[in-house]
Copies of this chain bind each other. A is one copy, B any other.
Amino acid sequence: MTQTPLSPTSRSTVRRGKKRAVADRAVLYSILDSGLVCHLSTIIDGAPVVLPTAYGRDGDTLYVHGSTGALSLRTAGAGVEVCVAVTLVDGIVYSRSVFNHSMNYRSAVVHATATAVTDPDAKCHALKLVTEHAAPGSWDYARVPNTKELAQTSVLAIDLTEAAVKVRAGGPGDDEDDIAANRVWAGVLPLHQVWGEPEPCELLPEGVAAPEHVVAREVR
């Protein structure tokens, strides 16, 4: 399948740190699929507002959901522009100079006009994607939304066409003088996410085991 390259517009073209820019759409998908929350920004009363929220992805569409009353989602649903960032921090880069200190990271920034998903079937499909993104295995395990719950939830669709992706990996990028001076240690301290032990709800009867999709959940 031929994929649209990234950075098709001026504003999604990486200007700073161009060597970190990635034009492969598969990397965009990988970053979005590895994150847990996105940061969705909109303009409300002339001022920028950014909020963290759960999301899911289907091809080149990102879905976010929230209560129908949530201010930012109502505003965005009217068809206004949004910007969505998903950021994964992979480590701290300890360089020989403070100036060259950095982070290893994977960053996706999407520019789009958000549209509300109102068709009940499309909404349910989007909610399944959001649920399965945050809690893989839950849609077929827990009770699915009823009509009332569906009505209380709003879903926004965000097109992924216009996206900027940056990735930094690897060791310090120090100046030659600092390397030659050989004064200090330099390297990377990796950062990992790990799942802890499942903590059962206190209202569960004794002896109910956590299901495989929780116990054996992999870190993406």
A residues touching B (Cβ–Cβ < 8 Å)?
Answer: 11, 15-17, 36-37, 39-52, 54, 66-67, 69-71, 81-85, 87, 89, 91-92, 94-99, 101, 103, 105, 107, 109, 111, 127, 131, 134-135, 138-139, 141-146, 149, 153, 171-172, 174, 178-179, 181-205, 208-211, 214, 217
In the complex the two chains form, what is the Cα distance from A206 to B97 in whole Å?
20
Q: Which residue of B lies closest to A187 (CB)?
A: B200
In the complex the two chains form, what is the Cα distance from A192 to B193 in whole Å?
6
Chain B neighbourhood of A98, CB < 8 A: 127, 131, 138-139, 142-145
In the complex the two chains form, what is the Cα distance from A51 to B143 in whole Å?
37
Chain B neighbourhood of A183, CB < 8 A: 143
In the complex the two chains form, what is the Cα distance from A92 to B15 in whole Å?
36
Report which of B42, B192, B199, B203 forms a contact with A188, defined as CB distance below 8 A.
Answer: B199
In the complex the two chains form, what is the Cα distance from A124 to B16 in whole Å?
22
Report which of B50, B85, B142 forms a contact with A96, defined as CB distance below 8 A.
Answer: B142
Chain B neighbourhood of A54, CB < 8 A: 103
Report which of B134, B174, B184, B189 forms a contact with A195, defined as CB distance below 8 A.
Answer: B189
Give chain B nearest CB distance to A44 CB in angstroms: 7
Chain B neighbourhood of A49, CB < 8 A: 11, 41, 48, 83, 109, 111
Chain B neighbourhood of A184, CB < 8 A: 141-143, 211
Give chain B nearest CB distance to A77 CB in angstroms: 14
Chain B neighbourhood of A84, CB < 8 A: 50
Is the beta-carbon distance between A47 and B189 smaller than 8 angstroms?
A: no
Give chain B nearest CB distance to A41 CB in angstroms: 4
Report which of B15, B82, B199 forms a contact with A69, defined as CB distance below 8 A.
Answer: B15
Give chain B nearest CB distance to A110 CB in angstroms: 10
Give chain B nearest CB distance to A39 CB in angstroms: 4
In the complex the two chains form, what is the Cα distance from A92 to B198 in whole Å?
10
Q: Which residue of B lies closest to A183 (CB)?
A: B143
